[in-house]
Structure 1
Amino acid sequence: MFTTRPELAGTFGMVASTHWLASATGMAVLEDGGNAFDAAVAAGFVLQVAEPHLCGPAGQVPGLFVTADDPTPRALAGQGPSPAGATPEHFASLGLDLIPGSGLLPATVPGAWDGWLLLLRDYGTKSLREVLTYAIGYARNGIPLVSRVSDTISAVSQLFTEHWPTSAALWMPDGKPASGVHRNPVLADTWERLLREAESVSGREAQIDAGRRAWSQGFVAEEIEKFSRTAFRDDSGRDHAGLLTGDDLASWSASYEEPASVDVGDWRLVKMGGWTQGPALLQQALLMYGFRDELSYVDGVPSERTVHLATEAAKLAFADREAWYGDTDVPLDVLLSASYTDSRRALITDTASAELRPGDARGPARLPAILNSLQGMQAEGGATGEPTVGPQGRTRGDTVHLDVVDAAGNLVSLTPSGGWLQSSPAIPSLGFCLDSRGQMFWLEQGLPNSLAPRKRPRITLSPSLALRDGVPTLAFGTPGGDQQDQWQLCFWLAHVYGGLNLQESIDSPAWHTTAFPSSFYPRSWNPRELVVESRLGASTLDGLRARGHEVVDAGDWALGRLSAVSRSEGLLRAAANARGMQGYASGR
C-alpha cells in the first residue's frame, strides 16, 4: 500500500511524537546516554513550548510503561483532581447546569509538572536540568510556531483583546496573532527559578523532589491561587473567578497505578484504569475479536463491513463509558468479561444503531438526565479533536502524544494535554495558563463522573501499550479527545488483523462516530453520525449510508495524529502521523 513515509527500524532507540522538535529532543537525550524515560520527559517539556495550543505546563500527563527489568506494565497518574471548593452547590449558585469549557472555573490541580518529575526521579537517569534545558532554550530563544498556533490565536483574538488581556499580551504581542519565531521568556524564567530551588539541595532525586515542592508548595502555587481570585469571561458568557488554592496544589501529588488490560488472541492490550476512557478501547478490542474472521483490508483500506462493525462496537463501548466510568468503583470485572462482551456483541446488526445503549454491568445503567437536551446539537461538522474555548471564536484544542523505546527494553507511551493557550487567561507572572479539564464532570449528582471536591475528571487522554506472548512489544496513541480510543482502534485493527506495519497502520484511512455525549462543553452528540476519511472509497461511503450511518466526509487525510514504537525480534521500529505535517519519528 501507499505510505507517506517509511516505517523506521533500528537497534539503538526510537522516539515518535506529534511534533518533530519533541522527537528530535528525545533522540538527542538518547544519544547523550539517557534512557527512554529521560527522553520522554525532555520531549514532553518541549511539546509544552512547541504545541502550546495542545498542551501546557499546567496540564496533565497520563502514561503507561514497562522497564527493561520488569515486563509488568504500570500507569503514571498525572491528572490532578478538582479543587476542594468545586462543589455542586457552588455551581448551582452560579446558575450553571454544565461546567464551562474555558476560563478559571473548570481548572483542576495541575498534574503535568509533578507527573513528569515523578517519572524522571524513579525511572530516569538524568538530572532535572539536563532534561529541562531543551524546553527552556526554546522558550527563551524562540521556537518556530506551526501555522495552527496562529490560527488558534486568531480564532480567539477577540476574546483575548476584550476579556483576557494577559493572554493578548503573550500571544498577540504586536496586536496580531503570534507567528514565526515566538518567545516566552516569562515561562523560561519560571522554569529557571524552579531549577534554582531544586538545586539548592544535593543529589539527583532530592533535587527533583525539591523541584516538585517548589511548584506545589512554593511560588507557583502562590501565584496560581492569587490569579484564580480574579474573575474572567468563560463559555457561559459571564465572568467567574476560579477555585484553585495553594492547599489544593499542596495536597496532591502524582502516583502510579495498576493499569487495566485484556487478552486478545496472543496480544495483551493495556490501558489506563476506569477513571479514564481507556478501557473503552479494551471493550472495543474484545468486541471486535469476535468478528476477527470478518475483518478485511485491501491495499491497506478496510472494508465497509470492517468500518461498520467497528463503529457499532464503539457505540456500545462509549455508552458504557458514559454509564459506568469515572473516578469511583468501576465494574471493569464485568465490563471486560467474556459473558458481558458476548451479550453486547449480540446487539450489533447490519444496520446503524441510533440508540445510546449502556449495559447493565451493575444493575440498571443510569445516564445523565441532561443528555436528551444535548442530543443532536451541532458538533461542528464532526468532531476531530478536543473542543476548546471562546464564546467570541470557538476553536479546537487537542492534545499531544509521544512514545519512546530504547535498546535496553524500556518502553513508554504518554498522552500529555491541558493548559492550552486558549483554555484560560495566561498567568502573567508564570507564562502559562491553567487547564479546563473540569468541564468533563457532570453537575448532576449520583453518576460515576459527577463533580465532587478533590475528585479526578474522567479524562479522554488514553495512551496504549501491548504485549505479545507476554513480551512488551508496542506503544501507541493519539490526540483527539473522545476520538482517541476510536482512532486507536483503527490502528489496532489495521496492525493486528490487516497485517500492516506501524506506518501503514497509521496511514490507513480512519473514521469515528459522534454517537455518544462529548466529554467537552457543550457535550453535544449525534446518534447516527459517522465521520470518515474519503480514502475509504466512494462505494464504501455509499454502503455505510445505506446501512443508516449519517456519513460526514472529513477529507482524504484528516483524522488522527497517531504515533507508535515497537520492539520485536531484536529490532526497534517507529512511525508517526503525516496528517497536519507535524508528527515525526526519529531513531537509529
Structure 2
Amino acid sequence: MPFTAPPAFTTRPDLTGTFGMTASTHWLATATGQAVLERGGNAFDAAVAAAFVLHVVEPHLNGPGGDLAAILATAEEPGTPVVLMGQGPAPAGASIDRFRAEGLEMVPGAGALAAAVPGAVDAWLLLLEARGTWEARDVLAFAVGYARDGHPLTPAVARSIASMAGFFLEHWPTSAALWLHADGTPPAPGELVQNPAWAAVLDELVAAGDALGPEASRADRVRAVRDAWATGRVAQQIDAFVRTPHRHSSGTDHAGVIRASDLAGFRASFESATTGTFRGTTIAKTGPWGQGPVLLEMLAILEPLPDEALDPSTALGAHTAAEAIKLAMADREASFGDTDVPLAALLAPEAIAARRALIGDRASHELRPALGSLDALPSLRTAEEYVAGVGGVGEPTALSTGDLRGDTCHLDVVDRWGNIVAATPSGGWLQSSPTIPGLGFCLGTRLQMTWLDERSPSALRPGRRPRTTLTPTLLLRDDRAVGALGSPGGDQQDQWQLLYLLRTLVGGWSPQQAIDAPAFHTTSFPGSFWPRTWEPGGLVVEDDLGDDVIRELEARGHVVTRAGARTLGRLSTVGRDPATGVVHAAANARAMQGYAAGR
C-alpha cells in the first residue's frame, strides 16, 4: 500500500542547482549565507555569517548569550559526520544545594540564575577557525551592519517584545531600555531597530584579531577573537551585572551565579557523531548529552514495520509514530544527560525489538523507559494542574498549541565542493533574562533542562552540560553526506524531523512536500522547559491532518489538541548528490520567515 499522495501544490518550489544552497528560519540569514557563497566563501564561512545575523534579526529566538549544536561534513572527509558542540556547562557556582537554598524546587525558566555558560559565539568562531576560509572581520560584517544600521522588525519579534513590555518596565529596566521606546511603547512590525551596543562588541572582538597583524595566520586571528570573547569586557560585564538580584519566572528575585571565570574556562569543541541507519540511509546526531539519539531510537523501532504503518498522514501511521516517540522520550528522561549513558544497550537490536513490541492499538498514557528509573523526577504535573496551583507558566520553547514564547533558529548550508552543515542555535532570547547594559544581549536559561535531584542523569551539576533539545541531523549514503536538516521546536524538534524522514525516505516525497505536509507531536512526557509539565496521552495535531484521521486518533485513546492549520513544524534542509554535484534546498513557510535560496 503506497503512502498517501503528496501535496499537489507546495508553498515553495524544491530548489535545485549546482553552486550552493542556504536555508534558514529568516530570509536575511539565508541571503547572508548565500552572499558569502557567491563571494567565494565555503559552507562554513556562510553558516557563521548567517548565524551572527540570526542573533540580530531573531533576538526572540536566539542570541549571543545562548548555545548551539551543529553537525557537519567536509568535502575532504564527506563520510565523517562531526558534531560542533556549542553547549556551555553549568557554572561552577550552580549546584543543587545552592538552588535549594534559594527556595527553588526546579530551575526557573527565565532569569540569570538559569544561565549556562554561553556557548554559541565561541562555537561559531571555532567553526570559522578550523573549517572556514574568511577573516572574522568579513564574516561578522553582515551582523555588524544589521545591528548598527538597523533591520526591519518582523511581526513575530514585535509580538514578543509587546508581550514582555510590562514585565520589562516593572522588573527588567535594562531590557526596556533596549527594546522599548522612551515612552515605554514597543516597536511596531516593520520598524527599523538597532542594537549599537552589540555592534560595538563585535567591532571590539574583530579588533582583537586584527591586532595580531598580517604576520599571524588567519586561524590565529580568529582564535584571538575567541579569547577576547571569553576573557575580555564581555565576561567582566556579565559577571558584574548578574550579581544584582532580579525577577525570575519563579516570581522571586535571585542573583545569577555565572562568573567571568566560567566564561574563561569554556571552549567549544568538535565531537564524533552518534549514528544509526534507516532504510539504507545513515542518520548522524549528537551524543546523549543532547536529545539527538532519540531520533535514532524512533527510527530503529519503526524500521521493519510495513510501509502502510509508517505514513504520518494516516491514523495508523500517526499513531505508530507517536507511540515510538513516547518510548524514545521515556528513555531520554530515564537515561540521557552529560554522564555515562548506556546508549549501546538502549539501541541494541534486542532492546529495540522489545520496545517495538510495546506498541499496541491504543495510545499509551504512561512513561515506559527501557532502562534506568524515573524516581528522580518530581511529582509530575499537567499544565492545567500547574496553572491551577501557581497561576501561570513560564517561557517554554513552544506551547502545546504551537504558540511561540521563545524558541529556536535553524540554518543549513551546502556548497559546490560538498561541505555541508546543519546548525540549531538557540537560547539567550530577549525573554530569557535582563539585557546586560553595554553588551546588547542577555543570557540564556538552558539550566532549566536540569533537575534538582542528584539521582537524575540530567541533574544540575557544576561543569556539566544541561541535556539540550538542540538536535540537527546529517544524512549520509554510501559514506557520503547527502543532506542536512533540522528545526526549531524544543522537544518537538526530533518529532517533526521523524515525520520528514518517514515521508522522504519511505514515502518518496520531495523535501518541500515533506516540509509542507501536516505535522503533529506528542506531549506525553515531561517537557524540557520550565515548568516541566506533561499531558499523558497528549497529541497536538495540525487541522490539516483531516477530521477523519483526527477522530480515529481520538478513538485510539490519544488526547488530541487541535493547533489550527499550518502551525507546527519549522524544518529546513539542504543536500547534495555526490554523483552529479546537484545541490538542493527547501524551507518551511508556516511562520512566514523561513527561506531557502541557491543556484
Whole-angstrom distance in 1 between the partners of 2:38 and 2:334: 46
Q: What pairs up with 1:153-164 in 2 under 5 angstroms? A: 153-164=161-172
> Which of 571, 574, 584 in structure 2 is aligned with 1:565?
574
Q: How does 1:197-212 map to 2 (within 5 A)?
A: 197-202=208-213, 203-212=217-226
Runs of 4+ residues over 3 Å off in structure 1? 371-380
**Following the alignment from structure 1 to structure 2, what is the Cα–Cα distance between the partners of residues 319 and 456?**
20
Given the alignment, which residue of 338, 345, 357 partners 2:349? 338
d(CA) in 2 for partners of 1:6, 1:316? 35
Match 1:501 to one of 506, 510, 524: 510
Counting only pairs closer than 5 Å after superposition, residues 300-315 of structure 1 correspond to structure 2 as 302-315=313-326
- The aligned residue for residue 188 of structure 1 is 199
Q: Does 1:453 align with 2:467?
A: no
1:470 shift after superposition: 2.3
Q: 2:156 aligns with which of 130, 148, 162?
A: 148
2-side partners of 1:559 and 1:368: how far apart? 31
Contact 1:386 1:399 in 2 (8 A): no
Instruction: Check the 8 A contact 2:380/2:526 in 1, yes or no.
Output: no
Say whether residues 1:411 and 2:420 are aligned partners. Answer: yes
Deviation at 1:396, TM superposition (A): 1.1
Is 1:289 aligned to residue 289 of structure 2? no
Q: CA deviation at 1:498?
A: 1.4
**Structure 1, 487-496 or 25-34: larger mean CA deviation:** 487-496
**Which blocks of at least 5 consecutive residues in structure 1 are unaligned?**
none
Read off the aligned partner of 2:406 and give its amino acid letter.
Answer: G
Compared CA separation, residues 536 and 374, structure 1 to 2 (3 A): closer
Q: Deviations over 1:222-281 (max 9, x none)?
A: 111011111110011111100011111111100011111111221110101000001111
Q: Are 1:585 and 2:583 counterparts? A: no
The percentage of counterpart residues that share the same residue type is: 52
In structure 2, the CA distance between the partners of 1:379 and 1:473, relative to structure 1 (3 Å rule), is: farther
| Alignment partner of 1:73 out of 78, 81, 106 | 81
Distance in 1, Cα, partners of 2:140 & 2:485: 24
1:194 CA drift (Å): 1.1
Secondary structure (helix, strand or coil) at the match of 2:574 reads strand
Does the 8 A contact of 1:476 with 1:564 survive in 2? yes
Question: Structure 2 vs 1, CA of residues 129 and 586 (structure 1 numbering), >3 Å: closer, same or farther?
Answer: same
| 1:296–1:260 Cα change, 3 Å | closer
- Contact 1:322–1:367, Cα closer than 8 Å, also in 2: no
2:237 aligned residue: 223
Find the partner of 2:338 among 312, 327, 350.
Answer: 327
2:556 pairs with 1:547? yes
| Contact kept? 1:13, 1:587, Cα under 8 Å | yes
Unaligned runs of 5+ in 2: 1-6, 389-393
Is 1:109 equivalent to 2:123 in the alignment?
no
Output the TM-score relative to the length of structure 1: 0.95
Where does 1:476-487 land on structure 2 (aligned, <5 Å)? Answer: 476-487=485-496
Q: Tell me if 1:267 matches 2:281.
A: yes
Alignment pair present for 1:258 and 2:258: no
CA distance in structure 2 between the partners assigned to 1:386 and 1:176 by the alignment = 22
User: Alpha carbons of 1:122 and 1:314: their partners in 2 closer, same or farther (altered >3 Å)?
Assistant: same
Cα deviation for residue 378 of structure 1 reads 6.1
Q: Which residue of 2 aligns with 1:214?
A: 228
Offset at residue 386 of structure 1 (A): 6.9
Alpha-carbon distance in structure 1 between the residues aligned to 2:289 and 2:307: 32
Cα offsets for 1:553-580 (capped at 9, x unmatched) = 1111000110001111421000000001
- What amino acid is the match of 1:192? D
In the alignment, the residues of structure 1 paired with residue 380 and residue 531 of structure 2 have an alpha-carbon distance, to the nearest angstrom, of 13
1:544/1:479 CA distance change after superposition, 3 Å: same
**Contact 1:388/1:422 (8 A) holds in 2:** no
Aligned pair partner of 2:429 in 420, 443, 446:
420
The alpha-carbon distance between structure 1 residues 371 and 567, as it changes in their structure 2 partners (threshold 3 A), is farther
**Contact 1:65 / 1:411 at 8 angstroms: preserved in 2?**
yes
Amino acid at match of 2:329: F
Shift of 1:469: 2.7
In the other structure, the counterpart of 2:140 is: 132
Give the whole-Å Cα distance in 2 for the aligned partners of 1:285 and 1:395.
27
Q: CA RMSD in A?
A: 1.6
CA, structure 1 residues 472+527, in 2 after alignment: closer, same or farther (shift >3 Å)? Answer: same
One-letter code of the match for 2:286? M
Q: Which residue does 1:516 correspond to in 2?
A: 525
Q: TM-score, normalised by structure 2?
A: 0.94
> Structure 1: which amino acid aligns with 2:76?
D
SS at match of 2:178: helix
